[in-house]
């Protein structure tokens, strides 16, 4: 088997459920340092982050994660014992995303060995907390980068972005995500004496009606319209003769670059003010949206993917969030290119062996295109 296969299997055997790294980053660091890369370990809390780079000048950064989601029950073969069946390699992390990490690590190393005095700089950043709360991962590293004015030009995240075959989709942006947990305060009492109580459900209903019927925008470039969904609404004591003292509401917004978290928060707080809702709101900002317009990175990626697959990729802004949300605000052009995402987070997660073997050459072509 190939070095790519062996490295993938080595990483996949390690039970690195978030925030565990289980030694994955040490394997990567030793591979890259032996090729002359500068290595920086950047741990925060329980989370390990590894930054490696070679060269100077315009920088192409690859971003990925060595952690995986818990395997769950019902696998056909053990989730941490990578197994080949019918042309696929099965195991937790095959698609999301240890194999693509192995792919860009080998591609970067081989590029540097073949072109020791290459143009620009090639860099790799991996974290052990992308799948979890993601507080001590790329978010913290990005803070350090901002502070020390790290020179970054382009970023390729190896997240599983492809739909049915490797390279059929180029992710050029992602929506932002903002969540709120709100406690609405009322006064508990007997339903027969409403004048002595204050019903928090009645109190918040008109505000929520306005909130959920609001049109936020009509989309942005290829982004869908911003949307708000109430995910939980809990109130009441269970008795039919008690006005509850409080109500708890949770909602989430997925938003396009028309908005940022601060503007949405201000808008929503003022809506609740207008309705005189007595409340405490805890906001959680998962990440601002990003969008990479036409430019050097997009056009380089488009032509490499077109040559690789024989057809131009779909250029999309769909899907959930990824760590590019922390790199893009540094003023870096960001895209995502990675394996087929059909089985990510599922039981029997897998990657086609042909796709596994092709990843280093795909990433290698991107590096040559941008740094030669």
Q: List residues near Zn ion by CB under 5 A.
A: 96-97, 159
- Of the residues 20, 129, 130, 315, only one is catalytic, namely 130
DSSP 21-60: -TTHHHHHHHHHHTTT-EEEE--BTTB-EEEEEEESSSEE
- Residue indicated by tokens 């050097």: 296
| Residue 136 is a catalytic residue | no
Query: 65 or 254: whose CB is closer to Zn ion?
Result: 65
Beta carbon of residue 159, minimum distance to Zn ion (angstroms, whole number): 5
| Sequence-ordered alpha helix ranges (H) in 216-260 | none
| Residue 348 is a catalytic residue | no
Beta carbon of residue 349, minimum distance to Zn ion (angstroms, whole number): 11
Beta carbon of residue 97, minimum distance to Zn ion (angstroms, whole number): 5
Strands (E), the chain: 38-41, 49-55, 59-65, 83-85, 88-90, 121-127, 154-157, 169-171, 173-174, 176-185, 189-190, 227-235, 242-243, 246-255, 279-287, 290-291, 314-316, 333-336, 350-352
Query: 21 or 96: whose CB is closer to Zn ion?
Result: 96
Distance CA 150, CA 132 (A): 26
Give the nearest residue (CB) to Zn ion: 96
**How would you label 297-318 residue by residue, b for 16+ Cβ within 10 Å and e otherwise?**
bbebbbebbeebeeeebebbbe
- Of the residues 20, 67, 136, 355, only one is catalytic, namely 67
Q: Helices 296-309 and 353-371: crossing angle, nearest 10°? A: 140
Beta carbon of residue 93, minimum distance to Zn ion (angstroms, whole number): 9
Q: Of 286, 349, 341, whose CA–CA distance to 137 is shortest?
A: 286
Beta carbon of residue 196, minimum distance to Zn ion (angstroms, whole number): 53
Query: 54 or 92: whose CB is closer to Zn ion?
Result: 92
Query: 99 or 300: whose CB is closer to Zn ion?
Result: 99
Query: 97 or 366: whose CB is closer to Zn ion?
Result: 97
Point out the residues that are catalytic.
Answer: 67, 130
């Amino acid at each position: 088997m190939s070095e790519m296969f062996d490295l993938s299997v080595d990483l996949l055997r390690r039970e690195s459920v978030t925030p565990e790294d289980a030694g994955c980053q040490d394997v990567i660091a030793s591979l890259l340092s032996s090729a002359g890369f500068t290595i920086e370990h950047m741990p925060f809390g329980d989370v390990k982050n590894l930054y490696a780079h070679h060269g100077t000048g315009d920088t192409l950064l690859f971003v990925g994660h060595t952690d995986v989601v818990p395997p769950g029950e019902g696998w056909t073969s053990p989730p941490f014992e990578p197994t080949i069946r019918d042309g696929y390699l099965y195991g937790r992390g095959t698609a999301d995303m240890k194999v693509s990490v192995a792919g860009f690590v080998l591609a970067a190393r081989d590029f540097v060995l073949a072109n020791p005095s290459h143009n620009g700089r090639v860099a790799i950043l991996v974290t052990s907390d992308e799948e979890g709360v993601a507080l001590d991962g790329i978010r913290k590293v990005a803070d350090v980068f901002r502070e020390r004015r790290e020179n970054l030009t382009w970023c390729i995240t190896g997240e599983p972005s492809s739909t049915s075959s490797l390279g059929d989709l180029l992710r050029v942006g992602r929506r932002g995500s903002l969540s709120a947990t709100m406690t609405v305060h009322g006064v508990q009492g007997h339903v027969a004496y409403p004048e002595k109580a204050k019903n928090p459900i009645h109190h918040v209903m008109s505000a929520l009606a306005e909130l959920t019927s609001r049109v936020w925008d009509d989309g942005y470039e290829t982004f869908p319209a911003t949307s708000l969904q109430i995910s939980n609404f809990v109130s009441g004591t269970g008795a039919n003769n008690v006005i509850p003292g409080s109500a708890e509401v949770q909602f989430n917004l997925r938003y396009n670059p028309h908005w940022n978290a601060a503007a949405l928060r201000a808008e929503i707080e003022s809506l609740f003010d207008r309705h005189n809702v007595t409340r405490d709101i805890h906001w959680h900002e998962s990440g601002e949206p990003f969008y990479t317009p036409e430019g050097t990175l997009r056009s380089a990626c488009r032509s490499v993917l077109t040559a690789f697959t024989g057809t131009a990729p779909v250029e999309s802004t769909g899907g959930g969030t990824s760590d590019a949300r922390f790199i893009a605000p540094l003023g870096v052009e960001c895209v995502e290119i990675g394996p087929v995402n059909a089985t990510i987070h599922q039981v029997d997660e897998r990657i086609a062996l042909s796709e596994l073997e092709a990843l280093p050459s795909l990433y290698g072509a991107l590096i040559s295109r941008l740094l030669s």
